[in-house]
Amino acid sequence: MKILYYDCFSGISGDMNLGALLDLGVSPETLTAGLKKLNTRGWRLEISRDQRHGITGTKVTVITEHDGHANGPEGNHGSDQHDHHHDHRNLADIEKIVKESGLPPAVSELAMKIFTHIAEAEAAVHDKPLQEVHFHEVGAIDSIVDIVGAAICLNEIGADRIYVSDIELGSGMVKCQHGLLPVPAPATARIISGFPVHLGGVDFEATTPTGAAIIAAVAEPLPPSMRLDIRKSGYGIGHRNNPSRPNILRVFLAQTAGEPDNGHTAKLVECNVDDMNPEMSEYISGRLFAAGAGDVWFTPVIMKKGRPAFTLSIICEEDQLNAVREILFTESTTIGLRVSSFSKETLHREFEEIETRFGKVTVKKSYFNGRLVSAKPEADRCAAIAAGTGIPMKNVIQEIMSLIREES
């Protein structure tokens, strides 16, 4: 299995997460191209290399251009640098921005899942209905970029499972819209409930609401008995320079130790549907992908009495089965499912960047028994190049494939 492992020894914030995932191999062009689909203005990304305690990684800063400030994690969680006209958004406002962006359904669903974790925590803390909760720091544009950017990057990596270490929360007090609050902030503590944590490793807010929500939406604690084979490391550099420990988020790309790259048991879930509006298909498949399904497809079939219909098929893992069931029974018109186990064989995949005349392009390489058997450029990046240059996409792909063959 392709595993993403978050090592949160110094906490996690939205910008540190973006830095770590870019450092792990996600193309900056893929991230920025996706974020540009958000119909928002007054911001830009600054991506640079930096060090903490001699460790080099990627640092991401969201520059809000309306006031010229560079905001750190969640705008320092309550700094007065934000334009407050843009801070006070509710969940519906955020959903409108995300849904109207034209981002892939899987990305939109994951972004809204992260935002919903924050909204539910804020609603519980302030004793308000969910839709009446107004985001403050997390409603600001830099935090929207952090969260939607996280969804873009995680979707690009496509890990089979995501695990997390014990999470450092920090200590002291944090300034936010409501004044000074103890670390962890009440919303953060509620979001991260159920995950193993540490307190007091640093004297500031190490894990922000955005960081906590990303973990809560996608990860689970690493089982004590699980052993990993680490294939690649990524380092996200934080905005603080703390003398006691490096302000860094480390993320590993790994696989289960001792497990071959090309085989594990998965679940196939299927149902036949003849009474559902086909226009719902894209929405339902997006929900399924956001729930962790590895693949979703629709096959036209003819049912009894000659009725045209389709079979909806989903590949998922055992621990995703309940979520898949809930989506199918509540969102589709099916009244029954077929669930079976099967052996799933996949090639080991790695991502690397190559230099082209169009700039850096991410290449996905697949290996069988340690031998490279296929390599291809990232499709969204090729589409963006084609759109920006006027060169047909097939010609862009052919040119990049020639470079790949030359390097092999």
Q: pLDDT tens digit string along 16-44?
A: 999 999 999 999 999 999 999 998 888 89
CATH homologous superfamily of domain 264-344?
A: Transcriptional regulatory protein pf0864 domain like (3.30.70.1380)
Confidence of residue 260 (pLDDT cuts 50, 70, 90): very low
| Token pair listed for 82 | 């934000």
pLDDT at 321: 92
Range 348-407 has CATH code 3.10.20.300? yes
Instruction: Name the average pLDDT for the chain.
Output: 87
Examine the pLDDT at 75 and tell me if it is beyond 80: no
Does 348-407 match 264-344 at the fold level?
no
Burial of 309 (0-12, 13-18, 19+ CB in 10 A): middle
| Alpha helices (H) along 138-239 | 141-157, 186-191, 209-218
Tell whether the model's pLDDT for residue 284 goes beyond 50. Answer: yes
Lowest-confidence segment of 71-85, 90-104, 145-159, 224-238 by average pLDDT: 71-85
pLDDT tens for 318-370 read 889 999 999 999 999 999 999 998 887 788 888 888 999 999 999 998 888 77
The crossing angle, in degrees rounded to 10, of helices 14-24 and 28-35 is: 130
pLDDT band, very low/low/confident/very high, at 92 (cuts 50, 70, 90): confident
pLDDT at 177 over 80: no
Q: pTM for this one?
A: 0.62
What are the φ and ψ backbone dihedral angles of 376, each rounded to 5 degrees? -155, 150
Share of the chain above pLDDT 90, in %: 64
Sign of CA dihedral 60, 64, 67, 68: positive
The structure tokens 């988020």 sit at: 249
Q: Quick one: pLDDT at residue 331?
A: 95
Q: Tell me the C-alpha distance between 310 and 314, whole Å.
A: 13
Other C-beta atoms closer than 10 Å to the C-beta of 352 total: 13
- Domain coordinates of the chain in residue numbers? 3-256, 264-344, 348-407
Chain segment 179-203, per-residue pLDDT in tens: 788 999 999 999 999 999 999 999 9
What pLDDT, on the 0 to 100 scale, is given for residue 110? 96
Contact present, 137 and 87 (Cβ < 8 Å): yes
Q: With 70 as the cut, is the pLDDT of residue 71 above it?
A: no
The model's pLDDT over 118-166, given as tens digits with 9 standing for 90+, comes to 989 988 888 888 777 766 555 578 889 999 999 999 999 999 899 999 9
